[in-house]
């Protein structure tokens, strides 16, 4: 609200008419459809290819060159399927649940820093907003599982909700070190301060990527990633939909487009989770060792924007690949192991990280390792 | 006065707060299910938060109301956790969550 | 503030009130809990419009992500899946309705008429400036300054609630 979208501004300037909020809404929808949906579609294809590679198979190879159009075929199949609501199901909640889950995942797109110039809304509570809207996922899963009137669904939903609210704690605690360093919740500024040390201009303080700010932050990045993995219900934390125990968990009774919404939400959620790790700890849109923004005198701003976008997406896709890689590498945890890992492992470690970062900030006056080694910046 | 202007005014906020408060009170009196009573209490707490936030913007023009709201939210969370633990305990003892059945201490 | 933004706030307020009615009178306790979720979201939007965006974020995280999920858990653990009645035993409707009318009407009247005509109104520019400014840092400073004692007290309260809830819910 207070910080209206830059993108919306430029859209409004370009078209020249209409109130700003219309263009904010339009740009939100455009960003969602231009990035979230294609990403989810291509991610399903990549996931199948990656898993095929890891199991020494071919994977999809019939539709289009290298089977790349497979996801469109899947999508059409999903739309054409019967939309089935089981007898005795709670119809209202059954329809509401997938929408809540997808809304929770997609709403976080508003604050993802795709580039300095493509930032939906750089609100001053940015990262808190991302945490807040993604909490809609837990009640969504729980309601969907209850509404299906199926014991596997219910068990899956209960597991999902317990897992998500437990892992919310280490995730939040692992976000705090990054906030501590940047002194702001605004994602755009958090990314801005992660520029290369020597390219800082007068009056700014760049300290390179937060992951390399100090040893505690390096660990916090891994904790955030592991916690995010658990929140997105991915292997090794996929107990809510463990095939060998619960058929398909909370999504057992869902078919057609409703199941499609769940699947879409899962991939969007992975994208959001990886983006948050990248934005907070891996420098967001920043290129390592170069300040691309300083070059904007010599090259057009639009090009800078797209270089930053590419930089951000490359980092995010590398993390998404790690997520897929883990799927075929690690076995699934048991329920008790899951809870023990969270409460006895991640939470204490995250607290130590937070304390350690605070002490580091106090002892070295907020300077990163790179700043300490390379000396003060120019100007 | 335009209804849209009314919605953003102090009166709009207070009105919503008052309605939420009394609906919450009605839920506490009307519901027999202990969880339903808890829902009513949450409504009442939210109504109080709305009033604090509204006055902090339109009268005090300071953040003190927001801090009080922060504390209300935290206390509500603690209260919900304890209340639900009590409800689960009651359910284990009496196989019901009807608040009227929780009368072991009466005789 | 543009008309569109005002419409959004009005819709949020209507969402609050209508979900609160469902919370109070819906016979199915699970649906009442879901309605409460939407009431929380509506209240969060109202907070954003009053310049309390940080509080709105906390509201959503704690209420939607915490309290609602706990309530749903409790409903699901205390009502058997295959014998779902979930019906709340109705008491007589007359008491809450009479109470509502007796108490609500004067309260709404007071907030509508008397406050509207009160002379304490602060200059709208100041209010708008306050609503638009960033307050997260101020909240942090206040928590470790003027509000340090309540802040410390609430940490102890939360710890007590945590231990107490675990102790109560644990099977013996």
3-state SS, one letter per residue, for A96-162: HHHHHHHHHHHHHHHHCECCCCCECCCCCCHHHHHHHHHCCHHHHHHHHHHHCCCHHHHHHHHHHHH
The answer to whether A185 contacts C53, with C-beta atoms less than 8 Å apart, is no
Kindly report the backbone phi and psi dihedral angles of residue A119, in degrees, each rounded to the nearest multiple of 5, phi listed first: -120, 115
CA distance C23 to C31: 8
CB atoms within 10 A of CB B65: 23
pLDDT in tens, A1-60: 333 345 555 555 555 555 555 666 666 667 666 777 777 778 888 888 888 888 888 878
User: Within a domain: residue A124?
Assistant: yes
Q: Kindly give the parts of chain A with pLDDT less than 50.
A: 1-5, 378-379
pLDDT at A377: 52
What number is the ipTM of this complex? 0.87
The answer to whether C65 contacts A165, with C-beta atoms less than 8 Å apart, is yes
User: Within a domain: residue A75?
Assistant: no
User: Within a domain: residue A13?
Assistant: no
**pTM of this structure:** 0.85
Chain C closest-CA separation from residue A260 CA (Å): 23
Any residues with CB less than 8 A from the CB of B102 and at least 6 apart, and which?
A: B34, B90, B94
- Among the partner-chain residues C50, C70, C143, the one whose CB lies closest to the CB of B81 is C70
Place of tokens 């940047």: A182
Chain C closest-CA separation from residue B1 CA (Å): 11
Residue-range domains of chain B with CATH = 3-95 (1.10.287.3510)
User: Within a domain: residue A62?
Assistant: no
Chain C closest-CA separation from residue B33 CA (Å): 6
User: Within a domain: residue A190?
Assistant: yes
Interface with chain A: mutation pick from C69, C83, C85, C87, highest number of A CBs within 10 Å: C69
Interface of A with C (CB under 8 A): 1-2, 19-22, 90, 92-93, 96, 123-125, 128-129, 131-133, 135-136, 138-139, 142-143, 146, 149, 151, 154, 158, 161-162, 165, 168, 185
For B83, nearest residue in chain C (alpha carbons) = C165
Chain C residues near residue B87 by CB distance under 8 angstroms: 74, 78
User: Within a domain: residue A78?
Assistant: no
- Among the partner-chain residues C46, C126, C130, the one whose CB lies closest to the CB of B50 is C46
- 3-state DSSP assignment of residue A273: helix
- Taking alpha carbons only, the member of C27, A262, C26 closest to residue C39 is C26
Q: How many domains does chain A have?
A: 1
**What residue numbers bound the domain in which A166 lies?**
84-374
Q: Average pLDDT of C128-142?
A: 80
Across chain A, mean pLDDT equals 80
Q: Does domain C1-105 have CATH number 3.40.50.620?
A: no
Q: Which tops the pLDDT comparison, B54 or A67?
A: B54
CA distance A245 to A252: 12
């Amino acid at each position: 609200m207070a910080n209206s979208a830059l993108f919306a501004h430029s859209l409004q300037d370009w078209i020249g008419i209409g109130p700003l909020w219309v263009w904010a809404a339009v740009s939100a929808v455009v960003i969602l459809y231009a990035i979230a949906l294609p990403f989810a579609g291509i991610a399903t294809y990549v996931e199948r290819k990656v898993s095929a590679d890891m199991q020494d198979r071919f994977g999809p190879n019939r539709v289009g060159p290298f089977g790349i159009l497979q996801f469109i075929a899947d999508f059409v199949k999903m739309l054409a399927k019967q939309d089935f609501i089981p007898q005795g199901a709670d119809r209202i909640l059954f329809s509401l649940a997938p929408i809540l889950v997808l809304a929770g995942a997609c709403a976080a797109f508003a604050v993802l820093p795709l580039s300095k110039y493509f930032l939906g809304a750089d609100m001053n509570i940015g990262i808190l907003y991302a945490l807040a809207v993604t909490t809609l996922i837990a009640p969504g899963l729980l309601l969907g599982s209850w509404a299906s009137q199926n014991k596997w669904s219910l068990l899956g939903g209960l597991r999902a909700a317990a897992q998500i609210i437990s892992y919310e704690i280490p995730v939040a605690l692992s976000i705090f070190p990054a906030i501590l360093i940047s002194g702001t919740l605004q994602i755009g500024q958090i990314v801005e301060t992660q520029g290369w040390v020597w390219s800082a201009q007068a009056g700014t303080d760049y300290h390179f990527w937060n992951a390399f700010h100090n040893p505690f932050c390096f660990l916090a990045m891994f904790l955030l990633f592991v916690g995010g993995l658990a929140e997105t219900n991915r292997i090794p934390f996929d107990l809510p939909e463990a095939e060998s125990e619960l058929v398909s968990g909370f999504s057992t009774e869902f078919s057609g487009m409703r199941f499609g919404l769940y699947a879409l939400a899962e991939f969007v959620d992975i994208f959001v989770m990886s983006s948050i790790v990248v934005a907070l700890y891996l420098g967001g849109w920043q290129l390592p060792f170069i300040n691309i923004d300083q070059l904007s005198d010599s090259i057009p701003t639009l090009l800078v924007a797209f270089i930053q976008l590419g930089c951000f997406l490359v980092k995010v896709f590398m993390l998404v690949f790690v997520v897929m890689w883990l799927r075929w590498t690690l076995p699934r945890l048991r329920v008790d192991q899951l809870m023990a890992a969270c409460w006895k492992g991640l939470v204490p470690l995250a607290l130590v990280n937070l304390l350690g970062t605070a002490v580091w900030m106090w002892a070295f006056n907020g300077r990163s390792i790179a700043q300490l080694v390379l000396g003060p910046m120019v100007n | 006065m335009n209804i849209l202007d009314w919605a953003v005014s102090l009166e709009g906020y207070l009105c919503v707060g008052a309605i939420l408060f009394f609906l919450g009170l009605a839920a506490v009196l009307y519901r027999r299910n202990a969880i339903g009573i808890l829902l009513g209490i949450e409504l009442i707490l939210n109504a109080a938060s709305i009033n604090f936030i509204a006055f902090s913007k339109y009268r005090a023009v300071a953040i003190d109301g927001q801090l009080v709201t922060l504390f209300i939210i935290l206390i509500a969370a603690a209260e919900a956790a304890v209340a639900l633990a009590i409800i689960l305990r009651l359910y284990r003892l009496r196989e019901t969550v009807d608040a009227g059945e929780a009368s072991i201490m009466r005789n | 503030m543009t008309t569109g933004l005002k419409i959004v706030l009005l819709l949020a307020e209507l969402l609050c009130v209508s979900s609160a009615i469902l919370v109070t009178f819906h016979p199915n306790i699970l649906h009442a809990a879901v309605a409460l979720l939407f009431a929380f979201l509506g209240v969060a939007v109202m907070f954003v419009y009053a310049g309390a965006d940080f509080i709105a974020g906390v509201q959503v995280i704690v209420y939607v992500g915490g309290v609602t999920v706990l309530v749903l858990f409790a409903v699901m653990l205390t009502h058997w899946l295959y014998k779902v009645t979930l019906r709340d035993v109705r008491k007589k409707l007359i008491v809450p309705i009479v109470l509502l009318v007796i108490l609500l009407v004067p309260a709404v009247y007071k907030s509508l008429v008397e406050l509207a005509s009160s002379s304490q109104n602060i200059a709208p520019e100041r209010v708008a400036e306050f609503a638009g400014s960033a307050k997260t840092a101020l909240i942090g400073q206040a928590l470790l300054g003027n509000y340090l004692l309540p802040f410390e007290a609430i940490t102890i309260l939360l710890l007590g609630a945590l231990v107490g809830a675990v102790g109560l819910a644990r099977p013996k």
